[in-house]
Chain A
Amino acid sequence: MSAQAAASSTRIAARTLPATLGFGTVVLLLVAIELLIRAGVINRYIVPMPTQIAGALWRIIAEEGVWDRFLLTFMEALTAGTMITVVGVLVGMLLYRFELWRRATETWIAALASAPTVLLYPLFLVIFGRSAWTIIMMGFVSGLPPVILKTIEGLATTRRVLVNVGRSFNLSGTQLFSKILFPAALPTIFVGVRLGLIFTLINVVGVEFLINFGGLGQLINDLAERYDLPGTYAAILFVILVSVCFFIFIERIERWLRPAA
């Protein structure tokens, strides 16, 4: 019994060791930075102390309207995310249906996916003005290509046997699409939506920062211009935490969808 207990505790230790090591290193690093700043080795006017940043985190949440800013960024990302999903899946479906159009445009869409579209933001500023629509449209343009490409891929790589089963049941074109092709392609389509949402979020926050308008991105710009160092670091930390939570959330949804394939 004691041997079993020892074995199970060893297993638990082996499982938790990497996470402990990773987290422990981060804590150690923060303690080292704190001590080096207190000792004057690192300039405190360039790098604020981690304890100051932690204090500023609560301050910006309480005083800088972080919740409203978060909601604004969330709504911008949600609008752009809905647009890339609807337009991307629709265009992907049409390109799958019309083979010639797909062959003519697929490489263009792939090139667009790797092109630095975010650099178009001055152009969007001119077209949409310094408004939420510039941010939403930038998120839309940058997140659209992966959704289109993955929708085409998902539909085109549906297992032949599934399509044949549908045909043997004499399904019409619409039935074949809604009962066989689309459900089978859904996990792959969601991979595209996940990638698209990541690009959208990056661009929404990035353009908010660049044009100094909107939610969380603007907060960083504001605090940096006020030379509120702990506040700037805290706001960056907050945005990173929000982004990471978002990535984990959509990754979980994708895993949940995958067994359906």
Chain B
Amino acid sequence: MAETGRLRATTVPRIPGNPVLLLRIAIIAALLVIWEAVAASGLLYRDVVPSLLAIGQALVKLLSNAEYYWNLGVTAGEVGTSLFIGGLSGLVVGLILGGSRLLAKAYEPYLYYLGPTPKIIFFPIMIMWFGVGSGSKIAMGAISCFFPIALSAAAGIRQIAPILIRVGRSFRANPWQMAVKIYLPAMRLPIINGVRLGLGVAIIGTLLAETKLSNRGVGFLIIQAYSLFDMPRMYAMLIVLFILAVGANALVGWIGNLDPSAGKRA
């Protein structure tokens, strides 16, 4: 048996290096080659698939443009404000609903079913309420992120181990101490998860609103590039935007995975 095992180990063809990494590199290389071939073939309407060189040049131009950073700052400010407003109100509503079985049964179905509806359709109302400036974009982001954060917070408060609540009560903790010392630390993961989901939809809500009606922000720049048919610039902006969005998502996830008690234990 031992012999067979040894024989197998030597006869199975081994790919040198990390096969997963090699395959990934091969897939990316194949995609880039196909892209460049399509760009050079002229099969599609001109500039729909620009050459990689043109996209690279547009990317460099974009990243060295001060105006782009100003617009990025506008969008980041809108997303941040919307996450603060929508997140805080979502957290409060989630805590209230999660803390009462009656209120949860009465109101949570509304949140649960309204949550996945397309929020962008509220944009005309938001324009009427908050104007065509940043207000309506912040409102769109806030509406978008309110639902996942409220539902996560409500679910989070329900999954707290009853023993933790009993410990808090046996120490005669007041409501503020209960919230700060028991509830919030025990709900850290569901809240971070909710913020992660909320951040994603807040970015989408804000940017879509910017593409629909705005004169500033990254969404506006993307739709402007579309109007001017400046495809390399549009691709460059979409690439940067996707990297930033996925990066922000990963950052929130990483913060959520940090163990706050690790330092104390060490």
Contacts and interface: CB of A to CB of B under 8 A. Distances in A.
Given A122-B222, A126-B231, A243-B116, A46 B129 contact: yes
A171 interface: no
Highest count of chain A CB atoms <10 Å: which of B105, B118, B125, B229: B118
Highest count of chain A CB atoms <10 Å: which of B48, B123, B225, B229: B123
A111 B253 CA distance: 12
12 contacts: A17-B102, A22-B107, A115-B246, A119-B238, A205-B118, A206-B121, A206-B208, A239-B117, A239-B121, A240-B114, A240-B117, A243-B117
Interface in A142-190: none
A199 B53 CA distance: 34
Contacts of B231: 126
Given A119-B208, A232-B125, A114 B200 contact: yes
A37 interface: no
Interface string A214-231: 000100110010000100
Contacts of B105: 18-19, 22
Contact of A126 (B20, B23, B48): B48
A105 B200 contact: no
B37 interface: no
Contacts of A105: 24, 27
Given A22-B106, A100-B23, A127-B48, A118 B208 contact: yes
Interface string B195-229: 00000100110011001100000010011011001
B262 interface: no
A125 interface: yes
A104 interface: yes
A158 B195 CA distance: 32
Category for how many chain A residues contact B: 35 or more
Highest count of chain B CB atoms <10 Å: which of A119, A205, A206, A217: A119
B125 A116 contact: no
Nearest to B222: A122
A56 to B, nearest CB: 14
A123 interface: yes
Nearest to B225: A122
Contacts of A198: 116
A74 interface: no
B128 interface: yes
A109 interface: no
B69 interface: no
Interface in B76-132: 102, 105-107, 109-110, 113-114, 116-118, 120-125, 127-129
Interface in B109-162: 109-110, 113-114, 116-118, 120-125, 127-129
Interface of B is mostly: helix
B121 A236 contact: yes
A118 B238 CA distance: 11
Given A104-B23, A104-B27, A239-B118, A118 B204 contact: yes
A39 B261 CA distance: 56
A123 B234 contact: yes
Interface in A99-129: 100-101, 103-105, 111, 114-116, 118-123, 125-127
A229 B212 CA distance: 19
B106 A19 contact: yes
Contacts of B102: 17-18, 21
A100 B19 contact: yes
A206 B113 contact: no
A153 B234 CA distance: 35
A133 interface: no
A236 B245 CA distance: 28
Contacts of A221: 124
Contacts of B171: none
Given A104-B27, A111-B246, A123-B234, A217 B121 contact: yes
Contacts of B229: 126
A122 B124 contact: no
Contact of B238 (A120, A217, A224): A120
Interface in A197-212: 198, 201-203, 205-206, 209-210
B241 interface: yes
A127 B229 CA distance: 12
B116 A232 contact: no
B201 to A, nearest CB: 9
